[in-house]
Amino acid sequence: MPEIVVESHPIDTVFRTDRLPHIFCPGCGIGPATHAYAQAILESGIPKDQHACVSGIGCTARVPGYMDVDSYHTTHGRSIPFALAIALVKPEMEVTVFSGDGDLFGIGGNHFIHAARRNVDINIICINNFNYGMTGGQAGPTLPLGARATTAPYGNTEPPFNLPYLAAATGAVFVARWTALHVRQLKEAMLRAMQKKGFTFIEVLSPCPVGFGSPNDIGDAIEEVWLYRERCVVNHDAYLPDLEIDLRRKDVPFVMGNFLDIEKEPFDPLAMMKNKGE
């Protein structure tokens, strides 16, 4: 049967189609991750008008602008304080922060650790493309050792953050890492995060052919995806300190999985105050 040319997609119900096509470069991993998020919204059983999507600034941070849910494109690094406020004032909302590694862990790092510590009931989806994509490929807090960026032309000398380890250590109740190619596992992890009360964290290793691929001699997006695919191992029980990503050491795999899934009382200061007054 030959292909049939059409004008719309069944997933369009979750998108603001008048804004499509999106601004992302060909093969950018933000697209598949957004698709997984849209699919998770559809399958979550939570009505669309009870989902909120919040971001800071960056390429990734453009995502809420395409979602047909309540969405907020906030200032650089400040997505988490906005999300926290929504979650506290409107507990019926399913609040998801969708933002980049630079936004969440560079300028916004302090918000992340304290929201995790308090176990605020929000989901964090971090597109980790190892660089500041939007502003021209600068080095960020996840750039692997030795990898090049426009501000690290001789190779990065700073040890990067190990994000799943950081999230688990600071208090998250669900922690996962997948690549942008693991769209099904990613969608399942997002669904689990939406079901859970408390602070959840999903890292998505994502190709950025422009900002990260090009200075690191990776030809195009598909080559970057193959590189991750070839080095990936899935180990849900991995020892989190071992999850560091080192591109130079071919003997060290990139470990994927749903690493942590625990129950803990979510942050609810309003309820605590009410109980005190009685």
Partner 1 sequence: MAAVLSRQPLDKATVSIPLGRIYIIPERCKGCRFCIDFCPRDVLVETTEMNAKGYHYPIVAEGKEDECIACQFCSILCPEFAIYTEEIVEEETAK
User: What would the DSSP string read from start to end of 78-127?
Assistant: -HHHHHHHHHHH-TTSEEEEEEEHHIIIIITHHHHHHHHHHT-S-EEEEE
CA distance 271 to 196: 19
Which of 106, 266 has the CB closer to ligand TPP?
106
Q: Which does 3 bind (CB under 5 to 8 A by kind): ligand SF4, ligand TPP, partner 1, none?
A: partner 1
Conformation bin of residue 258: beta by default, left when phi > 0, alpha when psi is -120 to 50: beta
Decide: 266 and 197 in contact? Cβ < 8 Å.
Answer: yes
Site string for ligand TPP, 94-133 (x = CB under 6 A): -----xxxxx-----------------------x-x-xxx
Tell me: does residue 144 bind Mg ion (CB under 5 A): no
Within residues 138-197, the interface with partner 1 by CB under 8 A covers: 181, 183-184, 187
Site string for ligand TPP, 44-83 (x = CB under 6 A): -------------xxxx---------------x-------
Tell me: does residue 27 bind partner 1 (CB under 8 A): yes
Q: Contacting Mg ion (CB under 5 A), which of 129, 156, 185, 200?
A: 129
- As to burial, measured by CB atoms within 10 angstroms (0-12 exposed, 13-18 middle, 19+ buried), residue 130 is buried
Which of 87, 152 has the CB closer to Mg ion?
152
Parallel/antiparallel/unpaired status of strands 174-179 and 138-139: unpaired
CA distance 243 to 28: 23
Within residues 203-262, the interface with partner 1 by CB under 8 A covers: 221-222, 225
Could you list the residues that contact Mg ion (CB under 5 A)?
100-102, 129, 133
